[in-house]
Structure 1
Amino acid sequence: MSVLLVDPPCGSRVWEPHSEHLGLGYLAAELRQEGHEVEIMDAGLLRWSVRKTCREILKRKPAILGISVVQPAIKNTLFIVKLLREQGLKSHICVGGHFPTLKTEVLLEKCSLIDSVVYGEGDITFPLLVKKVLGKDNWKDIKGIGYREGESIRINPPQPLVENLDDLPFPARDTLPIVLRWGRNAMAITSKGCYGRCIFCGPRAFYQ
């Protein structure tokens, strides 16, 4: 398998997902449009344990493992990465999402087993990373990523935002049948960012 996109279990009832991870759905759709084999593994939605999640990842042996991380899932994410490496997984492991965006340097300091961090929106950055990693090209010059180089941490300049949202494909909705089977609602994203600058809200910091 080329790319496996994972939403890890949070271990928190407050943050248990009840619908699809549309962020991963958008990335999957973009990558499939470019001809890549992609699977979405929503371990949070499926209520999988950390060890069950690891077993399923190891079965697939992806070339690239992308993990979307929110703050309540960071402990589980780091444990998953540790277990996978101990089991010999050689995949390029990339993490992204709100927590990695706000704490890129901290995350790289805490976990040397992660290959790269995509900060900010991944619509441009992650497909570029996939293309270069699979093509065995130098990926360390891509805007919008952070990585370790020896004992040093490198954080590249930010990636420009997508100017025309109509350029993005509709998201892959692989996990929608699970959501509907449980009687939950389908979700939609109709905009990106926010016109407000509220100091207490995540999007303000995410887009700075």
Structure 2
Amino acid sequence: MKTHVTLVNPPYPSGSHQHPPFTPLGLGYLAAVLEKAQYKVDVIDCQALGLNYEGFRSEIAKHKPDIVGITSTTLTYKSGLQIARIAKEVHPKCLTAMGGSHVSFWDQEALQECPQLDVIVRKEGENTMLELAERMETGKGYYDVLGTTCRKNGQIVKNADRPYIEDLDALPFPAHHLWPLERLRKHGTVIFPLVQAAAAFTGATSALRCECSADAIA
């Protein structure tokens, strides 16, 4: 049976500054790559839907995912961990995976902090998530998947980095159709006032590789 993947954009922490919602391109590309391979994919964007933790609990209960993939930034790192905990409570047999720039360099610490988190997907996640879905489909272990940090027999294992995608044109367009686009119309009065807007991705890195950028240590 084809693997069912639910991708999650966690809520902002209570009291934090909240940007107007956009389709998170990282999840959009993951969803598109998985759909292209004929996997069932759905999305729970807590920010776009205005869901808190209990709202997410109710929503994830409507799904039956084999993999719950969670994105996060530094701002949403803690809420991402809480999403993993809730996903495991509702679906104990699901594989919980977390990606994003923060956990790419905080992988072992994240696994230590959250026992309900199974896998960290480091750096580019498209091919890594695709391989995780393939492993789940065939029943093979996922402990040696490139670009991941995971647990095996109680020990944290950091696998080798996955090579970067060379041909970006081979990637499908983000799966915008999986998002509630009608909820993404409200934007600030300074940036994109009164119009519906979407982010675009034109390159995988910066040519300058500034020291303040994640590119410098990627």
Give the conservation status (yes or no) of the 8 Å contact 1:10–1:16: no
Give the conservation status (yes or no) of the 8 Å contact 1:143–1:159: yes
1-structure distance, mates of 2:105, 2:45: 22
CA apart distance, 1:132: 0.6
Give the conservation status (yes or no) of the 8 Å contact 1:66–1:96: yes
Give the conservation status (yes or no) of the 8 Å contact 2:87–2:96: no
2-structure distance, mates of 1:141, 1:89: 22
Q: Point out where structure 2 has 5 or more consecutive residues left out of the alignment.
A: 188-194
Partner of 2:205: 193
| Count of residue correspondences | 206
| Larger mean Cα displacement after TM superposition, 172-181 or 107-116 | 172-181
1-structure distance, mates of 2:186, 2:19: 17
| 2:83 partner letter | I
| 1:61 partner letter | K
CA apart distance, 1:48: 1.0
Give the conservation status (yes or no) of the 8 Å contact 2:70–2:84: no
2-structure distance, mates of 1:123, 1:137: 19
| 1:196 partner letter | L
1-structure distance, mates of 2:213, 2:168: 23
RMSD over aligned Cα, in angstroms?
A: 1.8
1-structure distance, mates of 2:169, 2:83: 35
1-structure distance, mates of 2:111, 2:37: 29
| 1:103 partner letter | W
Q: Point out where structure 1 has 5 or more consecutive residues left out of the alignment.
A: none
> Cα deviation per residue 1:151-208 (whole Å; 9 max; x = unaligned)?
3210000000111111111111022332136644122111111112222223333x2x
> Cα deviation per residue 1:106-143 (whole Å; 9 max; x = unaligned)?
10111121111100101211101111112211221111
CA apart distance, 1:51: 1.3
Partner of 1:4: 6
| 1:52 partner letter | G
2-structure distance, mates of 1:77, 1:59: 19
Alignment of 1:55 onto 2:58: yes
Partner of 1:204: 216
Alignment of 1:171 onto 2:164: no
Give the conservation status (yes or no) of the 8 Å contact 1:63–1:134: no
Give the conservation status (yes or no) of the 8 Å contact 1:94–1:118: yes
Give the conservation status (yes or no) of the 8 Å contact 1:58–1:89: no
Label 1:180 to 1:167 Cα distance change in 2 as closer, same or farther (>3 A): same
